[in-house]
Amino acid sequence: MSNVIYVLNGPNLNLLGKRQPEIYGYETLADVQLKLETKAAQSGLTIEFFQSNHEGAIIDKIHEARDKANGIIINPAAFTHTSVAILDALNAFESPVVEVHISNVHKRESFRHHSYVSLRADGVIAGLGTFGYVAALDYFINLS
């Protein structure tokens, strides 16, 4: 398997940079994708970047990652707090998983304080804005 990192994004993150900049900032998801692809290429890694508003589509992508990826960076968005199915899919993925949240979920409503995905994630980054994705990629660059 070559050095491929899957970057998976959950529901509504397609609106990043277009709504609620006071919480999520001004960068779009396309900006984040370009930044990660550029950084990964400089380190000999390849990014597979994906966003979906559909739980099953994210699960299918995690299954695909099982024999295509060396790691997963995932911002499951609202599915973080609801999805046992995404947790189960990640539990069937054998390489490292880093969970990223743009906002500090622990400073927000109590329903955002619990994450099913954190039961599987090797690392969790929250509250660093979109830089959290870059920090997660750095973790994989260090491993490679």
Site for ligand CA2, rule CB under 6 A: 12-13, 15-16, 19-20, 24, 75, 77-78, 80, 101-103, 105, 112
The answer to whether residue 139 is catalytic is no
CA distance 121 to 129: 19
The answer to whether residue 63 is catalytic is no
Q: Which is nearer to ligand CA2, 13 or 73 (CB)?
A: 13
Q: Which is nearer to ligand CA2, 41 or 111 (CB)?
A: 111
Q: Which is nearer to ligand CA2, 71 or 132 (CB)?
A: 132
Catalytic entry in 6, 54, 81, 101: 101
Least Cβ distance, residue 20 to ligand CA2 (angstroms) = 4
Least Cβ distance, residue 19 to ligand CA2 (angstroms) = 4
Looking at the annotation, which residues are catalytic? 24, 101
